[in-house]
């Protein structure tokens, strides 16, 4: 492979039209491999599965065929291929590039070192028209192949994934993924390129560390260009935020920040933005070098897995402040991103912000964010159903249309893209988010971990405008507590029961459905706690944009507390796990009285949790007396 790489690098800038005479397109016979149905976030499998013979090739050939079919039978002219840097990233990129070239895709864009965060890929698809590196400027990306399993661990025994984003930069919809799946059941051959002709074939290898602009002509009609991973994404962020005022915030006395990249793809982007553009020092970054196994960590930015950041922010794993630590000695803002840089965790000094609160606070502070302010405010906001209603309360008070969607970013994507590709309704400028640590807007069509960080920095910047040097800065905690005082607090917490036997997990759901949703009339009396179940519904959704219907999106138990205030518990099965089933229980309880807002969420929600677990017979059905993770 080393020798091949050496020869391949001669096909660069200088002699870019000098196609290697040795390169040949070959058709390889194959047969269908079962189990290739992509989920909402692409196909995720253990690395060992991806490494089986023809696996990547079969899947990518079917992906290309599906993309061509959905493009009216015309060949896709331009495609970006990038991954989150996890184990198998580079090898898969090489394989994929060969398949794409052999199929006649004219321009294949690969970022230097093969690594881009998921939001950055979305930005490339939406924005990149040309670069100095040999592209003529007529091309726009028709789509992107993103190699990621998001927040799942990486390594030889862990997960790898491939997903396809369409021309809008958003994950391909179900129609596409189903059509792709059907092809995987019928495939009989794929195309690829080899060097050395059929007598002594060897793979064509691209040097991913080549300078930006390097081109490899894989066939006379197909070229790989090594592109700058940062440029389009930076432009996207610059269109949202005022970098000058963020830079001023970063240089203020007393402002300190910690960013945890969890050894994923978000790290280099955070460095590029926070250090190179905004002037923070390198010491503000932790784990920002991508590693194939994420340094052995589980790259999911929550209280459990971002434990080092969490403790640096003066927090216990349950999100409460460590009482012995003086908040004035802690960083002003702490943030983490997941493996592919689309999720975010936000914390202040001794203060954890739940994703649902984060979304509501950003909504209420839209004036601080130029992207929204310059366009006259928010045209629409949305949250996933299991997220708390904190957003709804703000939206209602401020007269902003608010949507509650099933879990999954694609529902937001439809709302955001309605103007460009559906009925023309303009819901923008748009803000959306989920309890699962996803926040974003219509600057791209993926959630965006770094966008959320800059949104919070913008809010902090504005909140501290009137504060003179030497005075204590207004912090994250102050901002959120003021928000609660204004709108009330939605105590929120999620219990995850991971690796539950699938039958048992289904039984939990069926019990709730049969007993409380269908048998609604026979709602049981409250337990000793006085918490009363008042109604139960199963969430379904009719997409206002494309009219599609989605059912069975979570079971909602509505309660009335002894105070008369409402509370809610949602049960849902995870759609992203890779072994067994994960039952999620989402707890939410509204409290208007500011004197009660400083209680810790797990304490405030304890009785509600116990009552819900009792009603659904969690322990009896699953054998679990405690959740695996509480976030």
The footprint of ligand G6P (CB under 6 A) covers: 41, 150, 384, 407-409, 434, 436, 438, 574-576, 584
Q: Is 338 in the site for Zn ion (CB under 5 A)?
A: yes
Within positions 138 to 157, which residues make up the interface with Zn ion, using CB under 5 A? 150
| Tokens (6 digits) for 406 | 């099933």
> Among residues 380 and 554, whose Cβ is nearest to ligand G6P?
554
> Among residues 117 and 365, whose Cβ is nearest to Zn ion?
117
State the Cα–Cα distance between residues 547 and 541, nearest whole angstrom.
9
> Among residues 557 and 583, whose Cβ is nearest to ligand G6P?
583
> Among residues 274 and 570, whose Cβ is nearest to ligand G6P?
570
Within positions 52 to 111, which residues make up the interface with Zn ion, using CB under 5 A? none
What's the closest the beta carbon of residue 287 comes to Zn ion, in angstroms? 15
The interface partner of residue 57, options being ligand G6P, Zn ion, none and the CB cut-off 5 to 8 Å by kind, is none
> Among residues 20 and 446, whose Cβ is nearest to Zn ion?
446
State the Cα–Cα distance between residues 19 and 221, nearest whole angstrom.
10
What's the closest the beta carbon of residue 64 comes to ligand G6P, in angstroms? 24
State the Cα–Cα distance between residues 54 and 335, nearest whole angstrom.
40
Question: Which residue is at the shortest CB distance from Zn ion?
Answer: 150
What's the closest the beta carbon of residue 118 comes to Zn ion, in angstroms? 6
What's the closest the beta carbon of residue 38 comes to Zn ion, in angstroms? 15
The interface partner of residue 65, options being Zn ion, ligand G6P, none and the CB cut-off 5 to 8 Å by kind, is none
> Among residues 307 and 576, whose Cβ is nearest to ligand G6P?
576
Q: Is 342 in the site for Zn ion (CB under 5 A)?
A: yes
The three-class DSSP label of residue 34 is coil
What's the closest the beta carbon of residue 561 comes to ligand G6P, in angstroms? 26
The interface partner of residue 446, options being Zn ion, ligand G6P, none and the CB cut-off 5 to 8 Å by kind, is none
Stretch that binds Zn ion, among 153-161, 209-217, 331-339, 457-465 (CB under 5 A): 331-339
What's the closest the beta carbon of residue 577 comes to ligand G6P, in angstroms? 6
C-alpha distance from residue 515 to each of 44, 264, 607 (Å): 34, 44, 21
What's the closest the beta carbon of residue 618 comes to Zn ion, in angstroms? 28
C-alpha distance from residue 550 to each of 93, 407, 538, 539, 554 (Å): 34, 11, 11, 9, 11
Burial call 360-378: b when 16+ CB within 10 Å, e when fewer: bbbbbbbebbbbbeeeeeb
Sequence-distant (6+) residues with CB within 8 A of 293 are 86, 87, 153, 154, 155, 158
The interface partner of residue 341, options being ligand G6P, Zn ion, none and the CB cut-off 5 to 8 Å by kind, is none
Q: Is 407 in the site for Zn ion (CB under 5 A)?
A: no
List 41, 70, 122, 150, catalytic entry: 150
The phi, psi pair for 532, rounded to 5°, reads -120, 130
What's the closest the beta carbon of residue 434 comes to Zn ion, in angstroms? 11
**Is 548 a residue of the active site?**
no
Number of residues binding to Zn ion, judged by CB under 5 A: 5
The interface partner of residue 340, options being Zn ion, ligand G6P, none and the CB cut-off 5 to 8 Å by kind, is Zn ion
The interface partner of residue 436, options being ligand G6P, Zn ion, none and the CB cut-off 5 to 8 Å by kind, is ligand G6P
Sequence-distant (6+) residues with CB within 8 A of 261 are 267, 268, 270, 285, 286, 287, 288, 289, 290, 336, 337, 341
State the Cα–Cα distance between residues 164 and 530, nearest whole angstrom.
49
> Among residues 111 and 438, whose Cβ is nearest to Zn ion?
438
Question: Which residue is at the shortest CB distance from ligand G6P?
Answer: 574
| Tokens (6 digits) for 179 | 């059509």
> Among residues 313 and 390, whose Cβ is nearest to ligand G6P?
390
Which has the closest alpha carbon to 180: 44, 95, 66, 98? Answer: 66
Work out the number of other CB atoms within 10 angstroms of the CB of residue 283.
10
SS (H, E, C) 431-473: EEEECCCEEEECCCCCCCHHHHHHHHHHHHHHHCCCCCCCCCC
The interface partner of residue 177, options being ligand G6P, Zn ion, none and the CB cut-off 5 to 8 Å by kind, is none
Cβ(225)–Cβ(213) under 8 Å? yes
State the Cα–Cα distance between residues 455 and 447, nearest whole angstrom.
13
The interface partner of residue 409, options being Zn ion, ligand G6P, none and the CB cut-off 5 to 8 Å by kind, is ligand G6P
C-alpha distance from residue 279 to each of 229, 250, 252, 458 (Å): 20, 7, 11, 15
Residues with a known catalytic role: 150
Contacts with Zn ion by CB under 5 A lie at: 150, 338, 340, 342-343
């Amino acid at each position: 492979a080393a020798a091949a790489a050496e020869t391949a690098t001669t096909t660069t800038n200088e002699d870019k039209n000098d196609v290697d005479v040795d390169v040949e397109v070959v058709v390889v016979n194959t047969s269908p491999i079962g189990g290739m149905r992509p989920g909402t976030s692409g196909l995720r499998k253990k690395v060992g599965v991806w490494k089986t013979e023809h696996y990547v090739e079969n899947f990518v050939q079917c992906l290309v065929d599906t993309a061509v079919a959905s493009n009216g039978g015309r060949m896709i002219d331009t495609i970006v291929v990038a991954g989150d840097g996890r184990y198998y990233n580079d090898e898969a990129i090489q394989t994929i590039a060969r398949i794409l070239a052999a199929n006649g895709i004219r321009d294949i864009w690969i970022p230097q070192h093969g690594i881009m965060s998921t939001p950055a890929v979305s930005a490339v698809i939406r924005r990149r028209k040309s670069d100095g590196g040999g592209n003529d400027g007529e091309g726009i990306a028709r789509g992107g192949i993103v190699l990621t399993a998001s927040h799942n661990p990486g390594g030889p025994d862990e997960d790898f994934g491939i997903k396809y984003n369409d021309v809008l930069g958003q994950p391909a919809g179900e129609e596409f993924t189903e059509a792709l799946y059907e092809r995987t059941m019928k495939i009989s051959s794929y195309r690829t390129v080899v060097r050395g002709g059929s007598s002594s074939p060897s793979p064509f290898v691209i040097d991913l560390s080549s300078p930006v602009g390097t081109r490899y002509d894989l066939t006379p009609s197909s070229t790989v260009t090594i592109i700058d991973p940062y440029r389009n994404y930076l432009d996207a962020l610059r269109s949202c935020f005022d970098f000058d005022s963020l830079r001023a915030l970063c240089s203020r006395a007393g402002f300190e920040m910690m960013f945890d990249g969890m050894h994923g793809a978000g790290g280099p982007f955070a460095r590029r933005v926070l250090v190179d553009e905004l002037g923070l020092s390198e010491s503000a970054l932790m784990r920002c070098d991508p590693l194939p196994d994420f340094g052995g960590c589980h790259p999911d930015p929550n209280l459990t897995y971002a434990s080092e950041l969490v403790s640096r922010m003066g927090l216990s794993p349950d999100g409460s402040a460590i009482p012995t630590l003086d908040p004035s000695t802690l960083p002003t803002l702490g943030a983490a991103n997941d493996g592919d840089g689309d999720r975010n965790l936000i914390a202040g000094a001794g203060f954890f912000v739940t994703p649902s609160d984060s979304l509501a606070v950003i909504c209420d502070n839209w004036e601080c964010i130029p992207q929204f302010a310059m366009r006259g405010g928010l045209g629409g906001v949305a949250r996933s159903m299991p997220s708390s209603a904190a957003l709804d309360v703000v939206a209602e008070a401020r007269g902003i249309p608010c949507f509650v969607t099933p879990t999954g970013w694609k529902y937001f994507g439809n709302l955001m893209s309605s103007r460009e590709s559906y009925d023309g309704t303009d819901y923008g400028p748009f803000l959306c988010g989920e309890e699962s640590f996803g926040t974003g807007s219509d600057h791209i069509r993926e959630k965006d971990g770094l966008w959320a960080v800059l949104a919070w920095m913008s809010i902090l910047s504005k909140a501290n405008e009137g504060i003179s040097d030497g005075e204590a800065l207004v912090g994250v905690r102050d901002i959120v507590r003021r928000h609660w005082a204004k709108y009330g607090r939605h105590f929120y917490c999620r219990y995850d029961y991971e690796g539950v036997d699938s039958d048992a997990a289904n039984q939990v759901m069926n019990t709730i459905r049969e007993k409380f949703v269908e048998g609604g009339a026979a709602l049981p009396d409250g337990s000793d706690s006085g918490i009363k179940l008042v109604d139960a519904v199963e969430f379904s959704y009719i997409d206002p944009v494309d009219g599609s219907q989605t059912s069975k999106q979570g079971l909602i138990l509505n309660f009335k507390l002894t105070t008369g205030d409402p509370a809610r518990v949602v049960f849902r099965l995870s759609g992203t796990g890779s072994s067994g089933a994960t039952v999620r229980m989402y707890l939410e309880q509204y409290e208007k009285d500011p004197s009660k807002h400083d209680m810790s969420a797990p304490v405030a929600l304890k009785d509600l949790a116990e009552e819900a677990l009792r009603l659904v017979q969690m322990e009896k059905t699953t054998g679990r007396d405690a959740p695996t993770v509480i976030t």
